[in-house]
Structure 1
């Protein structure tokens, strides 16, 4: 009886170790932060299209993307931006996070109501870029 108990115990330990190894080997997505400071709406649209292409080619499960918009790039996140609003909603539904700089918002007289619900707000864009990179995000500038 004790031999049978030992066999079951060893089997239980082996299965547990195999599960832990499989879980640890599962790759984590690579995180990117995109700096959006360009004010040209056509260039903003192209940047959002680049994000869409990356998600399509590489896969949503392999990359996490955050867009931090400040200076002229703040307009890319506006609800009424005809060049980017639909893309923003589509990308947000795919897990892309969008952050608007409150300093840039104030300098352009924008309020929270000028942005869609998908947009988060940060006190300042440049420090948010640095914070995210310090946390392991890779820098991406369109």
Structure 2
């Protein structure tokens, strides 16, 4: 159990800290009123379901980089990372468009007009975060593999 906690502890802390940003945002926005809390939670739900869940796509690097490291083919780790950067980076472009038009999409889904407009504005301001979050996911997968194997 001690060995498991030592190896899994950094990953648990990493996942918690990545989710803490949304949790802290909602805690602070909740003090501003019901409309602000509704818009923030709706926008965070939309952005989490679409763009910020690229973590699932990035987990392929866990397997591929782990195998390359174990086989001592270190150059393949770089190749896998570069391919993932290209594929996942291109995948995020449509997500950015969804975020840019989130207010209109929510209106089409018959959300309250005030909440949809505010959630759309909130999601619009989150667009730059996806282009920072994507490289973070590659680097986590790329740099953590040798730590877990050794």
| TM-score category of the 2 structures, normalised to the smaller one | 0.3 to 0.5
Greater share of residues in strand:
1
TM-score normalised by L of structure 2: 0.31
Greater share of residues in helix:
2
TM-score normalised by L of structure 1: 0.33
* Larger Rg, first or second structure (1 or 2): 1
